[in-house]
Every structure is written in C-alpha cells, then in structure tokens.
Amino acid sequence: MRLAYIIALTACFNAAACINSTITDDNYAFTFKYLQKYGYLSKNVVAIPAQRRNDVFRKAFKDFQNYYDLPGDGTPNNKTLQFMSKPQCGFRDILKHGTKASLSKWPKTHLTWHFHLADETELSTAQAAFDLWSQHSALTFERSETPNADIIISWRRLLHYNTNAEVNGALCSVKFDGPGNVLAHASLPTDQAGFVSEVHVDGDEPWHIYVNKHPADKFSLHYTLTHEIGHSLGLAHNRRKTSVMFAIQPDQQYPVKLDQKKRHHRHSTFVR
C-alpha cells in the first residue's frame, strides 16, 4: 500500500521541481494521502492532465497551510509535516473537494446516546460531554442502555466495524492508524431515515478516561468525546485554536469548555 502511494505521488508531480531534499519519499506519500483524506486533494487527482498535477498538489498543500495559519508557499516542509502528524480528529476539514464543511442538522431536539460496552467511569465521562452540549444548545440527551440510539460511541481499532451495521453498513469507511495521529472520528447527521451517528474512539491510544486533568502522556477522553459529539450534532471543524472543534488535539485539554462564540447554537443551529 505504501509503495502504491509513492508511485501515485511520483506520477502527480515532478519531485525535482518542488521538493525540499530533506523530505523523504515516505513523507511525501504520507502528505499525498493526508491531503486526500482531509479533503484538500481530490481522489481523482491522477486523472488530471500531467502538466497540471504539480500545480494542483501545491495548491492543496497551500490550502492546508492557509487553513491552519502555517507559513509556507505550498511546498512541503518539515514544519508542516510535523503539524500533520499531531494527534487529531479523523473527520475531514473539507467535506467535498473545494467546499468547506457545512452544518447538518437533526430533525428533532431530543437525542438518545449509547456507549457500547463502556464501564461506569466511561459512561460518566460521556455524560459530562453531553451535558456540556445540552448547556449550550436547545438539545436534550438521554442515555440508552441498548444500541438503539441516535448516537453510538464505541472503542475501535485499525480496520473496524460499525455498531449499527443495519443502518451504517458493517465496515466503517475510515480505518484507524494505530497509536498516534488520528484519535477518533464521527459522522454528521444526514437525511437518511433512521440515521445513527457513530463516534469511534481509537482504542490503541493512551486514554485518560476521567473528567479531571489528564496526565501529559495521555489524551483526555472527556475532551475528545466533546469534540466528536460536536460532529454528531452537525458541526464541522473550526479554525479557532481555542474552539473545542479545532481538529488538532491541544496539549492542554482541561478544563473542557465550549468556545464562547458558539453560544448562539443555543437556539436553532442544530435542528432543521
């Protein structure tokens, strides 16, 4: 698979024209895959005429740098690659190629949630995350003891399955990558009848499952669930670093709080 991406990347642009010699082929393969995964680069880039592919790649890389206020001119560099490797959400920044993620909404204000095979501590932490959103929206949440719920949270690893296979299909379309980088992902509401939003949390990461301050070598489950529930409620990523919907996991994830600028969601943003 890695070789395939290197070959595809080589086909897309003339490396000698734009590559910093300190960047390896593996890093360029990672970059190419990353830009596609997060919506900056079309999956159909190999179909673009050869003379335009380099420009398309550079524009995608520059769009990423602009999105996160990173210095650069569209040429891959170590600083941007290091930023791409930070712990983060697996949800796309750009939902459709060339289109910024837009809000989706639920057709109701009372939602049920279920944390599959969770223990009491994990349930309590999930409840705290939902409580944050209920305090700043018109939505109410109720825990379901069965997977028959609007939002289902579960621990998953690598190539993994959905909890509600009947509605969402058996296999999740996005796999995890082991320890590091992607921590979790979730799905936006849709118009599909009986839609279930699934929140998948990477079980290969070192998690602090309590609501108190996390140690430096662990990620806050409370913070991560609050972020992913935001996606389940219809929110895209936010470019403000102070927002809980910022894609990159901050070093300090405690205390967990919603961005003050999101309080207008209290009225109708989450509901059609």
Helices and strands (H, E) in the chain, number of each type: 8, 8
For residue 177, the one-letter residue type is D
Q: CA 202 to CA 200: how far, in whole Å?
A: 7
Q: CA 154 to CA 196: how far, in whole Å?
A: 13
120 annotated as a binding-site residue:
no
Tokens matching residue 170: 């058996």
205 annotated as a binding-site residue:
yes
Q: Which residue pairs, CB below 8 angstroms and at least 24 apart, start in 25-31?
A: 26/2, 27/76, 27/81, 28/76, 29/2, 29/5, 30/81, 30/84, 31/61, 31/76, 31/81, 31/84
202 annotated as a binding-site residue:
yes
Tell me if 9 sits within 8 A of 27, measured CB to CB: no
185 annotated as a binding-site residue:
yes
114 annotated as a binding-site residue:
no
Q: Is 120 a catalytic residue?
A: no
177 annotated as a binding-site residue:
yes
231 annotated as a binding-site residue:
yes
Torsion of CA 147, 149, 151, 154, to 10 degrees: -10
Instruction: Give the SS3 label for residue 140.
Output: strand
Q: Render 208-222 in DSSP notation, one character per residue.
A: E-SSSPPPTTSEEHH
69 annotated as a binding-site residue:
no
12 annotated as a binding-site residue:
no
150 annotated as a binding-site residue:
yes
Q: Which of 120, 142, 198, 228 is catalytic?
A: 228
Q: CA 76 to CA 28: how far, in whole Å?
A: 8
CB atoms within 10 A of CB 175: 16
Annotated binding site for Ca(2+): 150, 177-178, 202, 205
Annotated binding site: 89, 150, 160, 177-178, 185, 200, 202, 205, 227, 231, 237, 245
Catalytic residues: 228
